[in-house]
A and B are shown apart, each in its own frame.
Chain A
Amino acid sequence: MGVSRNLEKSELSLAGTRAAITGGTSGLGLALVHELRNRGAQVAFVARNRNRVERLAQELDGAYGITGDVSRKEDIYPLAMQIAGALGGLDVLINNASDLGPAPLALLGDTESERFERAFSTNVLGPFWLTKALLGSLAASAREGRGAAVVNISSDAGVNAYPYWGAYGASKAALHHLSRIWDEELRAEGVRVISIDPGDMDTPLHAIAVPDADRTALKRPEVAAREIADRIHSLLWHHGSGIEEEAIR
């Protein structure tokens, strides 16, 4: 991580795109910060740990770091204010910050209510609140012909019923369905809302969930970030045309 690639010719540029990424200091979020920056986007990222936010912002000249917790309702408007203020608008919001629920993973019957609530706060309520707070910016961007997209990072645990993944899986299922409904509602405004399952990746979250996983068999977050960036490019490029696309798996 932290390796900056030069923009390859084959890559689809996101020059001038204003993007915000939650959970931006580790795992897929961090890879997305790098990927979008490398494609020329103006990036703001959000994470809870101030030291890590400031370190990354320093490391990446021009990336705007914001400290905050999307699972806390009182953090949402301060976050939205800083995102829209720093970027001067918003074209892409990536709700990536995720909470696993109980760690280590637990059967639902053994899951503490507080852990279950926390998973829903981070994985469902946070994306709902932040998207709602930034909807005015996104819709303005669509009206100005720039296109606008919300990308919610989901999981196959939100589709398949894996024992021990109850809190996480149920919350990601909710996020996935929220995305589908919101996408239907916002088509006419020119704002797309999609959920993407990036696949099983070698990330800190996965390491907590499956400590003995064979890491070499896992997808690298940089690869998933590249796929997501391509998808964003196509959403912005086709905005308003209603073109359906296949989910990345």
Chain B
Amino acid sequence: MRAASVPIQRPLDAKLLAVDYRGQIEHLARSEFADLLRPGDTVIANDAATLPASLSGLHVPSGRSIEVRLAGRRALDENARFSAVIFGEGDFRIRTEDRPKPPLLNRGDRLKLGILQATVLELLNHPRLFLLEFGGSLRQIREGIARHGRPIQYAHVPMPLAAWNTWTPIAGPPVAFEPPSAGFALDWSTLRKMNERRIRFATITHAAGISSTGDAELDRRLPFDEPYRISHSTAAMIRAAQENGGRIVAVGTTVVRALEHAAALFDGTVPAGERLATQRIGANSPLRIVDAILSGTHEPGTSHYELLRAFAKDENLARIDAELNTHGYRTHEFGDSIFLERDGIGMSSAKRSAA
């Protein structure tokens, strides 16, 4: 697949590869996404807005230029302490794996990040991953990130991203570190059409973390723990879908992670509340809630691709991969999409567990 290098969320020619539960593949325009849905389906998206989580500045003890990327938080309302990844000189124009080595961090080191002051509280079992604490009031921290931060981005998009490139149309709480980019496919017109066809729409808030660090060892630890919140109205919609046998369609891997995390804790139900998703989803993970996923296209070896293995057999994923490559699908956050029904017996997970 080729990288999508232009930060347009909904290019007119965006493609959608649809795979049904039998493994049948169909090529569609992504604008036809809603046509794949059925009345009674419940579509659930992640409404997290994306913080400009790349902060350039200075490692005070060494006097060297650094970039710090906020990578995770323990709770949605935690605004002073973040896990973070440090990079050496330069910015997103250099591939992360080619970046100069950053200075060695020690507990207590001061960092000056534009108008923000921060301290290294502790290293997190890796020389580049650490717990960062901002100084100042919450108001100063919020303003400092909002004004000084730049969206985290990677070398495949050569122009600097603006905040509006990274917020999905439905973005609300600014808690994610990278965009829940499957949601780029949604627009208000699609939501309107879904509404007219009695397809229900709900959101969760899931603080999507960093997706790549340029360090193989760190990348193997992804995704980091991510807090998420399920509202009462969303919990009620999921319950209704389960009772009525309607399908639950997740927009993005973060939604799958959150819903299945809750369902694993609560015996197949998804109660309202905030929790911390710690699990990884792979080939052997049971899907108790999600019947289908709308996602970006992912390359083998990434944690996102691993998650797709919970939906489809490896031989089907291999066929999908071949189709994506043959048909010139674009990958990464501004790329094309796939719609994947979990393979199996062609009924909703609710019906299946009732059977």
Interface residues of A (CB under 8 A from B): 64-67, 74, 76-82, 84-86, 88-90, 133, 135-137, 139-140, 143-145, 185, 188-189
Contact = CB atoms under 8 A, between A and B. Distances in A.
A88 B163 CA distance: 19
14 contacts: A66-B143, A77-B146, A81-B49, A81-B51, A81-B174, A85-B173, A86-B139, A86-B142, A135-B188, A136-B167, A136-B169, A136-B172, A139-B172, A189-B191
Ranked 5 nearest A-B pairs via Cβ: A77-B163, A78-B146, A137-B172, A136-B172, A136-B170
Given A86-B139, A136-B47, A189-B191, A77 B164 contact: yes
B113 to A, nearest CB: 16
Contact of A64 (B139, B146, B168, B169): B139
B231 interface: yes
Of the four ranges (under 10, 10 to 19, 20 to 34, 35 or more), the interface on chain B belongs to 20 to 34
Contacts of A137: 172-173
A144 B79 contact: no
A78 B232 contact: no
B13 interface: no
Interface of B: 47, 49, 51-52, 77, 79, 139, 142-143, 145-147, 162-164, 167-174, 188, 191-192, 195, 201-203, 231-234
Given A78-B163, A84-B172, A88-B173, A136 B146 contact: no
Contact of A140 (B47, B139, B146, B188): B47
A88 B77 contact: yes
Nearest to B166: A77
A144 B168 contact: no
B233 A145 contact: yes
Given A84-B173, A88-B77, A137-B172, A77 B167 contact: yes
Nearest to B145: A81
Contact of B170 (A90, A139, A185): A139
Contacts of B168: 136
For the residues of B in contact with A, the DSSP-based class is mixed
Contacts of B231: 140, 143-144
A187 to B, nearest CB: 10
Nearest to A141: B172
Contacts of B201: 143
A77 B147 CA distance: 9
Given A77-B167, A78-B146, A89 B173 contact: yes
Nearest to A77: B163
Contacts of A85: 79, 142, 173-174
Nearest to B141: A85
A66 B142 CA distance: 10
Contact of B169 (A88, A135, A140, A143): A135
Contact of A82 (B142, B167, B173): B142
A143 B204 CA distance: 11
Contacts of A82: 142-143, 146
Contacts of B192: 185, 188
Contacts of B47: 136, 140
Contacts of A185: 188, 192
Contact of B203 (A80, A88, A140, A188): A140
Contacts of A139: 170, 172
A81 B177 CA distance: 13
A136 B171 contact: yes
A90 B171 CA distance: 12
Contacts of B143: 66-67, 78, 82
A78 to B, nearest CB: 4
Nearest to B174: A81
A136 B191 contact: no
A51 to B, nearest CB: 15
Contacts of A76: 164
Nearest to B147: A78
Given A64-B139, A143-B233, A81 B203 contact: no
Contacts of A89: 172-173
Which of A90, A136, A143, A144 has most chain B Cβ within 10 Å? A136
Contacts of A136: 47, 49, 167-172
Contacts of B232: 144
